[in-house]
Structure 1
């Protein structure tokens, strides 16, 4: 993690103004990273220095103890942190939890001792990977710590695998019998029976990502059949309800949520981030009326998508993103609405330029009908239920 080709003036400014993360006791072999880069921790590692002030995503995966601590690592855990100039953040590795404990950062005495010894600690601190800073900023320029803090789990950790626990705590045999759960492995006559009788699981409280609720009903109460039809094709009503309930003061923060979901998936490996990104993208791209009244929101959406689609690995489109033509059909609707009559001229021009960019880069044709020229059947993602 050498500073390498960093401009000397920039290196000096980061040395003087950059924040420092002192991470003590991280086991050798742990995969640890910040923002868009990660490394395997060596025996001399004690943290990171010269970190540009602002929002960052610290992530790590502990060695898999079941495999003897070899090359395999466990699920990824991450957290968003907002760092001030010259700030020092201190954490100790908790072997039992296999997690970083930041409680020491609230102990002024400990912080003072570490700060006084930073010069001796400096050789064991790796410099922030400045070569990915521009990429990171482009992926999070709409995301504030306030928004990230409201979206990340109450325990502050974004995990690639959800922590689950039984819906019913039944440690005693008599309790399991009452709920028709097997007392032992030999009571099940088939695998299917065994699976059916397994305890129902739920996500552990405090570990859930707290995304905005996307309204299940896309039309107003008491809507006429004509309104129901209109709101089933134009999701502006549902979008406005989301903005009113979650971002009444600043609608553009919904773009921060789109970036948060994308980072949780792309860097945090949390699949639910991708699922929410899809739902939010559909809501935004299929809200025709909103494009006439929320010009700045949609100019921002184009910029956000430009950087996000540039970071998705090419083979990923063949896999998840292109399933059921999700992305191409969603963007096709967006371009149709954004270049229609009555749309702001700047937005229309930006949308046309973005469409040309995607057509050239990914060879997507937004002019022809999908599915061999058949009419496009729009399948609403989970969360859009027409009552």
Structure 2
């Protein structure tokens, strides 16, 4: 880990007041990072010092031995909420290829490590303060409560899902009852083989616990007219989500939007990107909510400003711009946010943000998009539009 040039007095203050991660036994070559930066672990590495208090994302990828080609494993990570002068202690578990933080609960061991911090200092890499501003801009709405609620029960955010078969079929007789082949030669082609593979499910406790976006965008017993209205204005569904998950603090939904974005951008979790898209669409297409929830949408503009400013350029080409998702979603938002009846401060902020995106990315939010087709609505059973 490379050092950070800073004033000696500032460095001393950060050493005294900043939090410290002591990570013992991490194999040389492991890719390890904190927040927006990552490094290759060297032989002297024992952790990270001078960490500013607040939310942080520790992430790492184990590396196989050279005899196995030195391949890098999937990225794992966890969100930590650190206090001033806090010391968090972890040991590397060789069998699990993961960090074990149970040592932090051993008060005697933590006290012993704390007493020897001065001697340990040369082996601790400094927090990368050159990226702190970026990190804060991506997580300023995310607090410990929200991060803890969204993080898997296993405590790890994993780039690849840990999946197991839905049915544990250990005997040939069991497989035959499920129409599964006893060997590869029974499949006539690849499609048949794929169709006959056992169905998989994510291992319990490893899934991200995102808020559930309502499957029905309209209230029970809705009339056809109400269904059509709710299919154009998602405010009902948004209010249901906020009532279910963020009743007392609706602005925390922006923390979830940031959590999902970080999990995708830094944690490499594609599922998190899909949730980010769904949650963003729900927020941007809620016309009445935009009129009623000024603070929420002022915050949304700030969140999106920083998120869209930090992603790699090819991100838009390869992922976000598929099917005009981002431009069409933001087009709806600007149409609603810049309309009469919206709070003047929010309207001006939205107009300024629209001009910024138009200039920076050359997106035209005033053009007719191909996606603006008639909405197909789902009717309750037995209801017709006759």
TM-score scaled to structure 1, two decimals? 0.94
- 1:213 maps to 212
Q: How does 1:47-86 map to 2 (within 5 A)?
A: 47-64=47-64, 68-86=67-85
CA drift at 1:119: 1.6
Mean alpha-carbon deviation: is it higher for 215-224 or for 152-161?
215-224
SS of equivalent residue, structure 1 residue 180: coil
Structure 1 gap ranges (5+): none
- Pair 268,4 (structure 1): closer, same or farther in 2 beyond 3 Å: same
The answer for the alignment partner of 1:16 in structure 2 is 16
1:191-340 to 2 correspondence within 5 Å? 191-340=190-339
In the TM superposition, residue 183 of structure 1 has moved relative to its aligned partner by 2.5
Give 1:359's aligned residue.
Answer: 358
**Alpha-carbon distance, 1:110 to partner:** 1.2
The 2-side partners of 1:378 and 1:126 are apart by 56
Q: Is the 8 A contact 2:298 2:349 kept in 1?
A: yes
Give the equivalent residue in structure 2 for 1:30. Answer: 30
Distance 2:142 2:158 in 1: 19
Deviation (angstroms), 1:192: 3.0
Quote the residue 1:377 is aligned against.
373
1:189: Cα distance to partner? 3.7
Q: Deviations over 1:59-118 (max 9, x none)?
A: 0000135x7354431100000001111111111111111110000110112112211221
Q: Secondary structure at the match of 1:93?
A: strand
Looking at structure 1, the residues matched to 89 and 346 of structure 2 have their Cα atoms a distance apart, in angstroms, of 45
Alpha-carbon displacement from aligned partner over 1:29-74 (angstroms, at most 9, x marks no partner): 1100000000000111111111111110000000135x73544311
Indicate yes or no: 2:173 matched with 1:174: yes
Structure 1 contact 239–284 (Cα < 8 Å) conserved: yes
Say whether residues 1:88 and 2:104 are aligned partners.
no
Write the distance in 2 (CA, Å) between the matches of 1:185 and 1:225.
Answer: 51
1:2-30 superposed Cα distances (whole Å, 9 cap, x missing partner)? 44332444322211101111111111111
Bigger shift: residues 38-47 or 178-187: 178-187
Aligned partners of 1:215, 1:20: CA distance in 2, in Å? Answer: 41
Cα distance in 2 for residues equivalent to 1:240 and 1:192? 43
Secondary structure of the residue aligned to 2:360 is helix
Residues 28 and 42, structure 1, Cα contact 8 Å, conserved in 2: yes
Deviation at 1:385, TM superposition (A): 6.5
Q: CA deviation at 1:280?
A: 0.4
Whether contact under 8 Å (1:151, 1:211) holds in the other structure is yes
Bigger shift: 270-279 or 183-192? 183-192
List aligned pairs for 1:38-53, cutoff 5 A.
38-53=38-53
**Whole-Å Cα distance in 2 between the matches of residues 9 and 28 of structure 1?**
32
Distance 1:348 1:170, change over 3 A: same
Give, in angstroms, the shift of residue 194 of structure 1: 2.5
Contact 1:219 1:232 in 2 (8 A): yes
Whole-angstrom CA distance in 2 between matches of 1:185 and 1:364: 50
**Displacement of 1:120 after TM fit?**
1.5
Q: What is residue 145 of structure 1 aligned with on the other side? A: 144
Displacement of 1:197 in angstroms is 2.1
Q: CA RMSD in A?
A: 1.7
Query: After alignment, is 33-42 or 164-173 more displaced?
Result: 164-173
SS of 1:289's equivalent?
helix
CA offset digits 1:140-162 (Å, max 9, x no partner): 00000110110011001000000
Unaligned runs of 5+ in 2: 381-386
The offset of 1:200, in angstroms, is 1.0
What TM-score do you get using the length of structure 2 for normalisation? 0.95
